[in-house]
Structure 1
Amino acid sequence: MRARAWSSFQWRCSADLPDPVAVVENPDSAFDWQSRPDLVWAVLSGVTAWAVGRGTVEAWRSAWGPLIAAAEAGAPDVAGAAARTLAKARPARATVPASARRFAPMLTAAGLMEAAA
């Protein structure tokens, strides 16, 4: 039992991912988007989970900020995967922000967004 308690304690001490809310509030400086892709994925997964959990249009729209920041910083593939997850959880009456249109071709192909006329 001690080994399990120690590993849990050790994990908590080394868990250095930022708070998803901090990332949403300041997507350009709350995280280094050029770090390892697995860390970028973990952070963006936290952001999307936070937005989906909130269930509001405002949270959903604000969660696009970190995805855009990650894509612009050189992680478009990871951001694109997170964009697909976020788009699937779109609340009623929510629209994808204009700044997130870079994901439009992928989201349209996945049937998660209507093609622009």
Structure 2
Amino acid sequence: MGNQLIISTTPQGATDHLVPNSTEGVFFESLYHPWPTPLLNRWRSAGGKVIDGLDLLLWQAIGQLEVMSPAGALCKRDGSRVNKEELSLHMRSDAVKILDSRSMSK
């Protein structure tokens, strides 16, 4: 059995030179700046599954919102609970647009 999960927590640029010789398992990149990292791009391009730093940032934000919520749960104005999976998809979509626009303006 090979690697099931590879986690990268290295500083920016430390893994830019690496090339995956296998994309078995899931590659989790904790960085979200730069986004995506060169290694994550190579892993994804080689057909590997990835979790990027943006996912980490979004779920940290959702966790913070829960901590700051009076009831400990995210609620809409009508009092119904927020679907966290749905919220994360909306947040990710908006974040990707922002990050893409920043990279295009450079």
Instruction: State the TM-score, normalized to the length of structure 2.
Output: 0.36
The structure with more strand, counted as a fraction of residues: 2
Instruction: State the TM-score, normalized to the length of structure 1.
Output: 0.34
Larger radius of gyration: 2
Point out which structure has higher relative CO (alpha carbons under 8 A, 6+ apart). Answer: 1
The structure with more helix, counted as a fraction of residues: 1
